[in-house]
Amino acid sequence: MLAIRGLHSHYGRSHIIQGINLDAGPGEVIGIFGRNGVGKTTLLKTIAGWVKPSEGVITLGELGLGGLTPDRICHSGVGFVPEDRRIFPGLTVEENLSLGLLQVKGRPAREQRRAVEAIYDRFPRLGARRHQLGTTLSGGEQQMLAMARVMVGEPRLVLIDEPSEGLAPMIVAEVFAIVRELRDRGAIVLLVEQNVHEALSVSDRFHVVERGRIVFSGEAENADDRARLMQLIAV
C-alpha cells in the first residue's frame, strides 16, 4: 500500500502541497486531475524525492519514503516518468534502459539481459533502435523509452506525469496500453494527465487537486463522479 498523510511541500516560500492525504493499493491506477499550477506535478516530485516534503508522512508498505534521497526512493521500488521524460540524449536506447536496471540491486547479469530482451519484445520499435542515441528518437519513441526504462526495474509504485502531451493519437493509445499493463502487473500507478477521458479509461479512482489540496475524490466508472470532475476542472 501507498499511504500519504498530511503532506506539505514548498518551493522556497511558496506553499505548493497543503495537506494531502492519499491511499492506493497494488494493481490500482489513481488519476490526479486539476488545472495547471495546482500542485499535481509537485505531488509526484515530492513522492519521488525530487522535492523534499516539509511536513507529513509517505509510506510504501513498511518503508517511510519522506525525506529519503531520490536514489534511495528509486531503489525502494518507485519509478518516475516525468513530463520532460529525462531521456539521456547522448546515450543509446540500450544504455538508457540499463539505467532502469539500477533500480534493482543485486540482480544477476543473466536476469538483467532477460529483462531488457523482454522490453524489446514488448517494444519492437525500441529493439530496432537499441543502438541509436536518445536524441535521434521521435517524441513518441522517447516517451516509450521513458516508460520502458521504468518498467525494466519492475517497480511497485509508478509515478507518471502528463505522458500523452504532444503525442499523436496512435502513440497516445500505446501509452495508455502501457499504463494498463503496469496495473495488470500489480504496480500502483499515480497518473497526472490533462487528457481526462483517456486517463479515466485506465483509472480505478481519481482525485481533483486545487491549490495543493484534494477537493474531490471519485470512482472512475461512476457517472456522477465523472460529471463532478468535469465541472471542477472546466476552465
Residue 133: inside a domain = no
Report the relative pairing of strands 2-11 and 14-24 from DSSP bridges. antiparallel
Residue 107: inside a domain = no
Give bridge partners of residue 218 from the DSSP assignment.
206
CB distance 175 to 143 below 8 Å: yes
Residue 200: inside a domain = yes
Residue 98: inside a domain = no
Dist. CA 49–CA 45, nearest whole Å = 6
Phi-psi region of 162 (alpha: psi -120 to 50; beta: other; left: phi over 0): left
Maximum Cα–Cα distance across the chain: 52
Residue 97: inside a domain = no
Note down the domain range covering 210: 2-87+139-233
Give bridge partners of residue 217 from the DSSP assignment.
207
Q: Considering only CA atoms, which of 202, 172, 209 is closest in space to residue 187?
A: 202
What per-residue confidence (pLDDT) applies to 225? 97
Low-confidence ranges of the chain (pLDDT < 50): none
Residue 95: inside a domain = no
Kindly report the backbone phi and psi dihedral angles of residue 135, in degrees, each rounded to the nearest multiple of 5, phi listed first.
-70, -15
Residue 152: inside a domain = yes
What per-residue confidence (pLDDT) applies to 235? 58
What per-residue confidence (pLDDT) applies to 170? 86
The total number of structural domains in the chain stands at 1
Residue 115: inside a domain = no
Alpha-carbon distances of 25 from 186, 189, 216, rounded to whole Å: 9, 9, 19
CATH number where 46 lies: 3.40.50.300
Dist. CA 196–CA 110, nearest whole Å = 40
Task: Kindly report, residue by residue over 5-17, the tens digit of the pLDDT.
Answer: 999 999 988 999 9
What per-residue confidence (pLDDT) applies to 106? 73
Phi-psi region of 119 (alpha: psi -120 to 50; beta: other; left: phi over 0): alpha
Alpha-carbon distances of 156 from 26, 125, 150, 176, rounded to whole Å: 8, 26, 10, 18
Burial class of residue 128 in the structure, from the number of CB atoms within 10 Å of its CB (0-12 exposed, 13-18 middle, 19+ buried)? exposed
